[in-house]
Structure 1
Amino acid sequence: MEQWKKNLIVLWFGQFLVMAGMTMIIPFLTLYLQFELGLSDPHEIGVWAGVIFAGNFVTAFIFQPIWGKLSDRYGRKMMLLRSGFGMAIVMVLMGFATNPWHLLLLRMLNGTISGFNPASIALVSATTPKERMGFAMGSLQSGAIGGTILGPLIGGLLADAVGYRPIFYITGALLFIASLLALFVVKESFDLAKAASRVQASVMEGFKRISRIPQLMALFGVTLFIQFANMSPMTLIPLYVQELHGSTENLAFLAGFVGSVTGLSNMIASPLLGRLSDRIGAERVLAVSLVGAALAFIPQAMADTVWQLLLARFGLGLFLGGLIPAVNSLIRKYTPDGMESRAYSFNSSTLSLGNMIGPIAGGALSGYIGIHGLFYVSGALMLLNGAWAWHSLLRKLPRRQKQPPA
């Protein structure tokens, strides 16, 4: 097997575990705070749960560009190993938390040392043949999205099977195994001497240089609005399922299924749309996927039954599968040599920002426009995103783009 394929397989596994580990606490976090950490007031539990969940993304947003700079200097593999082994240790320590402050500080530490995903993307982009870049980015993204969406479902199942604390130990062990696989299987041709000879700009100077490239700024904006639109209604999905279902029977299962089905269709579509982008161009796949995702929010707002909502969210996942892989391919296309890791890190920061402000804004807006209105707002944001992508990227393409050899 070619080395780039080995890298892709191992890092797909790592991406899945990292994102699942970050999100699998969602179903039982409030219960963990109540039964293991001794909180009893419902309002206090709700506040702590929100702060603890967001803490990971706050520090990740701040520190990702720093790790990106070091990745361009010392190599992507070193950074992903640092992040993988570090998060494995922190995840195990979460199982020993005795009060909410312990859990909050560990989640913030986890975000601080994170960087596995942008380092993986940068490494895969550097080792994959250009004519297979779309397929590789799509496959890698399917692992990350699969972990993000299936993480809560896995966490809920494990909580019922083994209890709350053992989940952290199991997740830490799996992250450690994924990091070991990366250590022994993943290979990167990185010239340390050449990297050392380059003038290494500071984080702010690096951002200034990248910000002068309009295509990259457009792509960062696309990433932010994709995540914002996708996450803003996410925390209210269980309440919407309850409204449509009309009873409490099998409610938890249906809510988890509706939340996870987007990830399943995303995992299916990402490699296929990535392969398509190799043939017709990532810009075109991005624009069509944005419009398709925007339209897929409308039937969610108009659903009368849980099964209609389920089908609509499955369709949304098919279009979402073409978004982030196309963005990652285009970032590699427009980034100057030697700054790839930094560009992916800035993009990862915008992803974390969307994860932070999406649920908060969605919760605030829902009091005025309801869950139905949130779906329409998300669809409108996706359409604006599509217009932005067309103006910044697609409009400047030649009428007949050269296709790579089959």
Structure 2
Amino acid sequence: LLYIMAMFFVVQTCIMLIQPLITLYVGELMHDMGDAAIKMSGVVFSLSGITGILAAPFWGKRGQRFGYVRVFCIVTFIAGFINLFQVFINTVWQFAAIQFVYGLFLAGAVPNINANLTRVTAANMRGKAFGLVTSAQQFGGVVGPLVGGALGSFMSSRYVLVFAGCVLMALALYSYFTRVRGVEQEAAS
């Protein structure tokens, strides 16, 4: 349960890192800090949510077929890797495209964490477990903007996004080597 809580916390923190910076970043990319940048930042931020609606059922089904933790590792690593491309963008449309693709993969994290939670939690403890996991996720929603704002005060917004990508990739590798590979090695012994 602690592992699952930590996964929710880290994923939510990485999602929310961009929140305090997105309007400034979009304004920087558009060379305008007016109403158009504010509106466009709302559109861009919502893209990963829209893709989540589209992709989450797909990734949940893949988790059921191939293993929830394995699919979590794949989608989290790819989402993090996609975020690394932030260093190459020059326009708001490139940023929007990266956010769209990022959302397609990151949408697979939550359903697979939730499914894994039900798998490792006794039926009579699931209500309490989901409550604790939701608290961890909400705590990530608190920490993410604070860390994003702090990082944004001394580095470019694009590097804050790259930082979030690196954290997601590290999370995926940690999960793979401790949960997927570790279980495979124990089964082989």
- Both proteins in one fold, TM over 0.5: yes
Aligned-partner Cα distance in 2 for 1:300–1:373: 8
Does 2:152 correspond to 1:331? no
Does 2:133 correspond to 1:344? no
Tell me the residue number matched to 1:387.
173
Higher relative contact order (CA 8 A, sep 6+): 2
What is the letter of the counterpart of residue 290 of structure 1?
T
Tell me the residue number matched to 1:231.
16
Paired residue secondary structure (1:242) = helix
Mind listing any 5+ residue stretches in structure 2 that lack a counterpart?
none
Aligned-partner Cα distance in 1 for 2:20–2:85: 18
1:55-74 counterparts in 2 under 5 A?
Answer: none
Tell me the residue number matched to 2:27.
242
C-alpha offsets along residues 122-181 of structure 1, whole Å, 9 cap, x if unaligned? xxxxxxxxxxxxxxxxxxxxxxxxxxxxxxxxxxxxxxxxxxxxxxxxxxxxxxxxxxxx
Match of 2:151 among 346, 365, 373: 365
What is the letter of the counterpart of residue 22 of structure 2?
I
User: Percent identity between the aligned chains?
Assistant: 26
| Contact preservation (8 Å) 1:300, 1:313 | no
| Contact preservation (8 Å) 2:69, 2:179 | yes
**Greater helix content:** 2
Q: Taking structure 2 as the reference length, what is the TM-score of the superposition? A: 0.92
Paired residue secondary structure (1:369) = coil
After TM superposition, the runs of 4+ consecutive aligned structure 1 residues lying more than 6 A away are none
Tell me the residue number matched to 1:222.
7
How many matched pairs? 185
> Which has the higher Rg, Structure 1 or Structure 2?
1
Aligned-partner Cα distance in 2 for 1:292–1:329: 20
Tell me the residue number matched to 2:41.
255
Tell me the residue number matched to 1:305.
91
Mind listing any 5+ residue stretches in structure 1 that lack a counterpart?
1-215, 402-406
Report the CA distance between 1:249 and its aligned residue. Answer: 6.2
Paired residue secondary structure (1:235) = coil
Report the CA distance between 1:398 and its aligned residue. Answer: 4.1
C-alpha offsets along residues 325-369 of structure 1, whole Å, 9 cap, x if unaligned? 000000111112310111111110110100011101111111112
Aligned-partner Cα distance in 2 for 1:395–1:338: 29
Paired residue secondary structure (1:379) = helix
Match of 2:81 among 295, 309, 312: 295
Aligned-partner Cα distance in 2 for 1:357–1:386: 20
Aligned-partner Cα distance in 2 for 1:378–1:276: 25
Report the CA distance between 1:397 and its aligned residue. Answer: 3.9
* CA RMSD after TM alignment: 1.7
What is the letter of the counterpart of residue 227 of structure 1?
Q
1:3-42 counterparts in 2 under 5 A?
Answer: none
